[in-house]
A = this chain, B = another copy of it.
Amino acid sequence: MRGVAIVGLGMTKIKAHWDKSMRDLFAEAALKAIDDSGNLEPQVLYVSSMLSGELSGQSALGPYVAEYCGLRDIPAIRIEGACSSGGVALHEAIQAVSSGAYDTVLVGGVEKLTEYPTSIVTSALAEASEQEYEAYFGATFVSLNALLMRYYMNKYGVKYEDMAEWPVLMHENGSVNPYAQLPFKTTIERVISSPLIADPIRLFDCAPTGVGASALLVTTYDNAKKVTDTPVRIVGYGVGTDFISISLRERLDLLRASINASNKAYKMARVKPEDVDVAEIHDAFTIMAILSIEDLGFSKKGEGVRELKEGRFRKGDKPSINPSGGLKSRGHPVGATGIYQAAEVAMQLRGDAGPIQVDGVEVGLTQNIGGAGTSITVFIYKL
């Protein structure tokens, strides 16, 4: 298999973007990425989005965004994996390059969630859960996550106020991120007193809905070395899938798909969890952050919250987790999130992450979750 590296990246700030369409946003990120690569010409385009059809009424999303990037003729393909759409699209980009069929790939994500009433957006996001037996009987997406959180807290004797450390850390990290949707600091007290959404999940446990686009230029490692001094190699990856029906899973206190995906990625990269310097993980809800920390091997099962409270995972620790502010503070433009994570970790490795830069990053990792642990991608990066 041919080695694959990131040589260009671009993002938009995450906010409401009332004045921009999906292709305005995608083109902004994509043209930045192409420019950042020294104007490499992509031979295929992948675009990830969860809800472009449901909310914006646009299928054929590949050709739709390609048009505004000035790209014609080349394959332009949409990938959907609910909230893991971005990570899954990066998986396709890697296959396209490593197969030898294409040398240079543009892969980006875009999601537009504003312009619609909250009830419609909430219903649309719930499409990430099983519709026929779970959603149909009234389980919302946040309620399924609440169930996992309650079960975890009960099984491991964890208090809510200790879990509240997570959003506080995320807002501290995100407060200096120029791309972040919610760049402000917060406190344990404010988290604890925020409105209940689905007990025990409170408002501050939830990533906000945001709009944004992100893009990467990916090419062979041999090409990459010619165009930049800091190609970011993707040295390992894995995609794991679990039953979408939570009712069918044997254990609710772990993310089986994350364990499978990361084991594969670690093995391919010849890297261990303790080698990772910086990780961007999918904290759509606080419980997803804690399960992910444990199931990526950064903490033992049931001890993630204790370690968090003791001060681990902050900027400068190994690993530093979500220096971007994560989904909680940077934001979560659903189908674009996995690509934001990859771009952020690539910046960390290149040393040009600006105010969110962590010192001495040699090994980076991203983890992107679709559904309540249903589809999970893990990528490992090195210079």
Assembled-state Cα–Cα distance A1/B256 (Å): 33
B244 touching A60 by the CB < 8 A rule? yes
Q: Mark out the residues of chain A between 61 and 114 whose CB falls within 8 Å of any chain B CB in the assembled complex.
A: 61-64, 66-67, 71-82, 88, 91-92, 94-96, 98-101
Q: How large is the interface on A (under 10, 10 to 19, 20 to 34, 35 or more residues)?
A: 35 or more
Interface SS of chain A: mixed
A241 touching B72 by the CB < 8 A rule? yes
A77 touching B79 by the CB < 8 A rule? yes
Q: Mark A231-250, 1 if CB is under 8 A from B, else 0.
A: 00000000111111100100
Assembled-state Cα–Cα distance A123/B76 (Å): 23
Q: Which residues of B contact A99 (CB under 8 A)?
A: 1, 94-96, 98-100
A241 touching B98 by the CB < 8 A rule? no
B91 touching A75 by the CB < 8 A rule? yes
Q: Which residues of B contact A50 (CB under 8 A)?
A: 53, 59
B91 touching A56 by the CB < 8 A rule? no
Q: Which residues of B contact A242 (CB under 8 A)?
A: 63, 72-73
Stretch at the interface among A125-133, A146-154, A181-189, A300-308: A125-133
Shortest CB–CB separation between residue A62 and chain B, in angstroms? 6
Shortest CB–CB separation between residue A380 and chain B, in angstroms? 15
Task: Tell me, yes or no, whether A375 is within 8 Å of chain B by CB.
Answer: yes
Q: Which residues of B contact A124 (CB under 8 A)?
A: 53
- The residues of A with any CB-CB pair to B shorter than 8 Å are 1, 21, 44, 50-51, 53-54, 56-64, 66-67, 71-82, 88, 91-92, 94-96, 98-101, 123-124, 127-132, 135, 239-245, 248, 256-257, 260, 370-371, 374-375
